[in-house]
Amino acid sequence: MPAEPKSKSVEVGRLVERGAATVGKASSCWLATVDADGAPRLRPMGRLPPEPGDDGWRLRFVTDGRALKAGNIRRAGRADLVFQHEAEGAFVALSGVAGLEEDQAEVRRRWKRAYDAFFPSEADKANAVFLTVEADRLDLWIKGVTPEPFGLKTTTLARNADGAWLLKGDGEGA
């Protein structure tokens, strides 16, 4: 397979960097899953900070293992996340493999006191799990970075089997 031209790899690097910056500046996002009937389900989520050893594209959340979203993740194994930093006109839709870290010894190891507000009882804590999404696709709309007129074309990046990000196509309609 021929090497990617230098200008293409620089462009992909800049897009990934700006996408990561948008994700990093957003304190919350929208998580989208698909329910058992095939209907989309969206809800706001607060992202946890990355842990040592995580690459920038493993996102983690704490949630209730009894929640509908947890069942949707168990069934489908995928999720979508939407981040925005409106002040910069930056929007990122991220898709990836999703899973639940349900081992209670691991949950206790990672537990932070701040989570107690969302899991006040021992029964709630016993059902807490960590939801992870490993990004494998990014759809970007970033003012001054993605094509003009802003918002009319989607810039899509996808990860290959080696974990490298590749630019997909010339952008489809938003």
| 171/137: higher pLDDT | 137
pLDDT at 3: 52
Task: Quote the pTM value.
Answer: 0.89
| 9/33: higher pLDDT | 33
Q: How far apart are CA 43 and CA 25, in angstroms?
A: 19
| 45/52: higher pLDDT | 45
Question: Does residue 150 surpass a pLDDT of 80?
Answer: yes
Residue-range domain boundaries for the chain: 6-168
Roughly how many angstroms between the first and final C-alpha of the chain, as a whole number? Answer: 31
Question: Does residue 2 surpass a pLDDT of 90?
Answer: no
pLDDT at 55: 82
Q: What is the mean pLDDT of the chain?
A: 91
pLDDT at 171: 52
pLDDT per position as a tens digit, 16-44? 999 999 999 998 899 999 999 999 999 99
Q: How far apart are CA 54 and CA 110, in angstroms?
A: 14
Q: How far apart are CA 79 and CA 62, in angstroms?
A: 15
| Burial (0-12, 13-18, 19+ Cβ within 10 Å), 172 | exposed
**DSSP letter at 173?**
B
CATH topology of domain 6-168: Pnp Oxidase; Chain A (2.30.110)
Amino acid at 161: A
